Structure 1
Amino acid sequence: MTPPVLRQRIDGIAFDLDGTLVDSAPDIRHALNSALHKAGLRTFDLDTVRGWIGDGPDATIARALVAQAIDPTNAPGRALCDHLRRAFDMTALAAPMSLGHVFDGIADMVAELSRDYACVVVTNKPTPLARALLNAAHLLPHFSAVFGADEPVQRKPSPLLLRAAAERLGLATGALLMVGDGHADLQAAAAAGCPAVLAGWGYGASGWQGPPPWRMDRPAELPVQLATCQNTLLHF
C-alpha cells in the first residue's frame, strides 16, 4: 500500500519477535510437546501450535490444556500450568532456535535500520526466553533493549511495554514505530499512541480483519518506505 503521511518523525522502532522477526513456531511446538509428553498429555501438530502463538508461553500452555478438556483456571489446572511452564522453559532455553529460523530478509533489514534508528524488541515472550532466542538468531546485538512480558498485565494489547520502551529511549510514543504481525501488536500501538506496521510475512497477518494502518509484505520494504515517509514529513 502507499506509505502514509506520518504525524511526526520516527526515531525508534519496536519489533515483535515470534512471527515477525523469527519463525520460532517449530521450537515452541517442540518445547510445548516435550512438556506435555512428560506429563502424559496429548501433543499437537505444528499448524495448531502456530495458531496459539502470540500471547506468551502461559497462554499457549493454557490453550493446549483447553484443547484436551482440562481447565487451566482451577487449582489443579493452575498447578499443572506451572509445572508445564517450568518444563517448557527448560527445553526452550536449552535450544532456543534448533528448529526455527530467521525470516528471509530480516537480518539485513534490522542491520540497516539499527544504524539510523534506536531498535528494541517488544514481545509477549518473557524476557529471558526472548533474549535467548535473539542471541541464538544472531540478532541481539542490533537491539538496544528487549522488553518481554514478564507479568500478565504487560502482555500486548496492553500498551505498557511500548510506553516503557519509549521512556527508555527518551522518545514520545508517537516517535516509536511498532512492527508486528498480529492484532495485539497493532492494538497495543494504538493504545500507546505509536504508529504501526503490519508485518505481512508473519503468523497473524493472514487473519487480519479490516484495513491495517500500514502493511508490508517483505522486510526489505520497511527501510525504503520509512525513508519515504520521513522525507515526506520533512517537506510537508
Structure 2
Amino acid sequence: MDKQLLIFDFDGTLIDSVPDLADATNAMLTTLGKDTYSLDTIRNWVGNGSRMLVERALVGKIEVLEDELTVEEAEHAEQVFFDAYKNLSDSKTVAYPNVDSGLRQLKEAGYTLALVTNKPIRFVPKILESFGWTSLFDMVLGGDSLTTKKPDPAPLLHVCDKLGVMQDKAVMIGDSRNDILAGQNAKIDTLGLSYGYNYGQDIRDLNPTAAFDDFATLVKYLLKD
C-alpha cells in the first residue's frame, strides 16, 4: 500500500484488555449490588467506550433503551467502574501475538503511527508505557479527547490534519465496526483484523479494504511494497 500514516485502534487490535475490563465491570456491579457476568458476555459489550460498556452491564444486554437508565445512574456507575479499573492490582492485559515486533517493524520501515481508541485517554499512557510503545506513536487520541469518537470520522480527520497527512495516504486499522465505519466515513482506507471484539460479527462483513486473521500477516501486507 502506498501509505504514510497508520492509525491503529487499541483494544481488540493491539491488546486484549477484556480480562481487565471484565474484572473492573464485575467489581462495579458488585459494588452496586447487581449480578455479575462472564468474561465472554462482557467481551461482546466492549468497543464503544466506557460509558456504553457500563450501561450494557447495568441492563445486562448489548442494546440499551433510552428509558432504561437515568443519566445520574450511568454517571455514578461509570465513576465506580473507573475507580475499579484504576485500582486493579494485577493487570491481565496482554499484547496480541506479533504486535510488539510488528509495530517496531512498521516504525522502522518509515510509517508514521497513530493511535485512536474509544478508551478514556486517562488510561492509555500507562498501558502504552507498560509495553514500551510510547515512543512508537506520533499521536494518541482517547474516546474523550474530542467531543465525538469512532465511528464518527472526526478523530481520524483530526489526526490526519495535525500530522499533515492527506487522507489518501492514511489507513485505519482495527477490529470492529467502529473502526471500519470511522475510516469509511473519513474516506480513509481500512484494514480489518478478525480476532478482536466485533460483537460476534465477521469484520469482513463491513467491507474493509482488506482483512487479516493475525497481526503478522497484516504487517507483511503493509511491508510488501
State the one-letter code of the partner of 1:106: V
- Cα distance in 2 for residues equivalent to 1:43 and 1:72: 20
| TM-score normalised by the chain length of structure 1 | 0.85
- Counterpart for residue 39 of structure 2: 46
Kindly indicate whether the alpha-carbon contact (under 8 Å) linking 1:62 and 1:72 is maintained by their aligned counterparts in 2. Answer: no
* 1:144 and 2:135 aligned: no
Kindly indicate whether the alpha-carbon contact (under 8 Å) linking 2:44 and 2:200 is maintained by their aligned counterparts in 1. Answer: no
Q: Deviations for 1:173-197, whole angstroms, at most 9, x for unmatched residues? A: 2211111001111110011111110
- Cα distance in 1 for residues equivalent to 2:37 and 2:75: 19
- Counterpart for residue 217 of structure 2: 221
**Structure 2 portions without partners, runs of 5+:** none
State the one-letter code of the partner of 2:71: R
Change (3 A) 1:96 1:175: farther
What secondary structure does 2:215 align onto? coil
State the one-letter code of the partner of 2:157: R
- Counterpart for residue 26 of structure 1: 19
- Cα distance in 2 for residues equivalent to 1:205 and 1:217: 16
Q: How many residues align?
A: 220
* 1:163 and 2:157 aligned: yes
- Cα distance in 2 for residues equivalent to 1:192 and 1:76: 32
**Structure 1 portions without partners, runs of 5+:** 1-5, 232-236
- Counterpart for residue 93 of structure 2: 100
Q: Percent identity?
A: 27
Q: Higher mean Cα deviation, 216-225 or 146-155?
A: 146-155
The 4+ residue runs of structure 1 with deviation greater than 6 A are none
- Cα distance in 2 for residues equivalent to 1:67 and 1:18: 21
Q: Give, in angstroms, the shift of residue 149 of structure 1.
A: 1.4
| TM-score normalised by the chain length of structure 2 | 0.89
Kindly indicate whether the alpha-carbon contact (under 8 Å) linking 2:45 and 2:56 is maintained by their aligned counterparts in 1. Answer: yes
Q: Give, in angstroms, the shift of residue 130 of structure 1.
A: 2.3
- Cα distance in 2 for residues equivalent to 1:183 and 1:75: 25
Map 1:176-215 to 2 at 5 A.
176-204=170-198, 207-208=201-202, 209=205, 211-215=207-211
Q: Give, in angstroms, the shift of residue 141 of structure 1.
A: 2.4
Map 1:13-92 to 2 at 5 A.
13-67=6-60, 73=66, 77-92=70-85
Q: Higher mean Cα deviation, 112-121 or 203-212?
A: 203-212
